[in-house]
Amino acid sequence: MEVIAALIDFVLHIDKHLIEIVNDYQTWTYLILFLIIFIETGVVVMPFLPGDSLLFAAGMLAAQPNDLNVWVLIFILLVAAILGDSLNYSIGRRFGMQVTRIKLFGRQLVKQEQIEKTHSFYEKYGSKTIVIARFVPIVRTLAPFVGGIGRMHYGTFITYNIVGAILWVVGITLAGYFLGNIPIIRDNFSKVVLLIIVISVLPIIFEVVKEKLKKKEA
């Protein structure tokens, strides 16, 4: 429970934690952010790490006087996002559903229903799921994995991987860069993070409700 509480605190107050990281590690902050995004997108059992909120907070921080350059930041995070999805695809292609049996403290880290929701995204959007999933927590981590299991053509995968990474990283990081210093956003950052999370999970909620309505009608 302490780990979960610490993770929630990190996500909701990620702006303050990033300031501490920059103050303590300076240019090493680039590597730390690279690793967080790489692991969140590249390791199928780590879908709970911050993604959207981290990009927004990093962009907001880069707009302030410090050691972070927004364009260097975007480049590094782009590389992390592209390599992360590529690793996840390779894990799915090589090991398949065996990975879903991995447990931590007796609990499965990747649940079957999460895989099924990701499959429903593929059924609806096809290969474009790789792009759309970038903006949806959990599905973002599972989409390339499921693509690997389904042996999506690598040329198709890497194309959507790069396009999705550009839209996700550049879009959200620059949003933080240009909007983060607006007083109402800066002073209510935890609420902004919650709003980002709610907006991100709306597609999942929509799909779940839609499936339940279909079952009732059947």
* Residues in Cβ contact with 70 at an 8 Å cutoff, skipping those fewer than 6 apart: 59, 62, 63, 173, 174, 177
- Mark 68-92 as b/e (b = at least 16 C-beta within 10 Å): bebeebbebbbebbbbbbbbbbebb
Radius of gyration of the chain (CA): 18
pLDDT in tens, the chain (218 residues): 555 555 556 555 676 778 788 888 888 999 999 999 999 898 877 666 677 888 988 898 888 877 789 999 999 999 999 999 999 999 988 887 777 777 655 666 667 777 777 877 787 788 888 998 898 878 888 889 988 888 889 999 999 999 999 999 999 999 989 987 788 887 777 777 777 777 776 766 676 677 677 767 66
Beta bridge partners of 108: 103
Beta bridge partners of 103: 108
**SS3 for 162?**
helix
Tokens 């907070």 correspond to 57
For the whole prediction, is pTM greater than 0.85? no
**SS3 for 182?**
coil
137 phi-psi bin (left φ>0, alpha ψ -120 to 50, beta other): beta
Count the residues in the chain. 218
Dihedral (C-alpha) 164, 85, 9, 53: value to the nearest 10 degrees?
A: -10
Query: For residue 66, what is the DSSP state?
Result: S
Q: What is the pLDDT of residue 52?
A: 84
